Every structure is written in structure tokens, then in C-alpha cells.
Amino acid sequence: MAGKIIIDSERCKGCGLCVTVCPNNVISISEKSNSKGYFPAQSTGDNCTGCTNCAIVCPDCAIEVYRDGGAGNVKSVGPTRLGAGDEKTKKGIDTPNISSTIKGIDTPSRSRTKKNKINNLVREKG
């Protein structure tokens, strides 16, 4: 299955994490800086498999991964940005879409405990 990556050079800070995890060495650090002065990552080859390793480790969500789904169907895979394509959300409020995989962070018992603590503090002050 053929893959393709698109790196948003203005969002990328050139940390190099994607370079280290790419199994086919198709990502390198550019010699040209972006408008913020960072040297972003760039795609350097056609051997991308679409494994999504680069997009998963990217702390800036600057990498979009596409796979050829057969019969000419190309689909986006890997971590997604909320509102990708919307110019308002590209100004720093994009986050990886991982909410469905995180479980138990704010369980009802913890919520009740927090509310009880807050209520007790209010009673003491009031």
C-alpha cells in the first residue's frame, strides 16, 4: 500500500522526531527555515508506506498521512486535527483527536469528590 505525507512547514518546529521513527527514511530536516525561523521536516522520497509513525509522534500535529486505498481511493489516516482545513482552527488550537482512547481520567467518583471539596470550601468561607 502506497502512502504519502504532507508536512505543514509553518507549523513544524523541526524537532526531528518524525525523522527518527520513519522506517523508510523518507523524512529529513529542511535546509531552509520557515517564517518562524525553524528548520521544518520535509518529505524526501516516494517510499512512504503510510505507517503513520511520523504523524503519531509529531508534537505539533504538522503531518498528514494519506494511503492509497486501492482503486484510486486515497484516504487520510493517522491522528487528526480538530477542524482541519478551517483557517480559524489552524492558529494554534488544533489538538490530536485522542479523546475516544482516553478512559477513566474523570470518573464519576473523582468528580463527586472534587465537587464535595469545593462545596466544603464554600461552606467554610460562607
Spatial CB neighbours of 51, under 8 Å, sequence gap ≥ 6: 3, 23, 65
Position 87 scores a pLDDT of 42
Residue 108 identity (one-letter amino acid) = P
The mean pLDDT of the chain is 74
Position 99 scores a pLDDT of 38
Percentages helix, strand, coil for the chain (3-state, rounded to 5) are: 25, 20, 55
Which domains are present in the chain? 3-98 (3.30.70.20)
pTM above 0.75, yes or no: no
Position 17 scores a pLDDT of 96
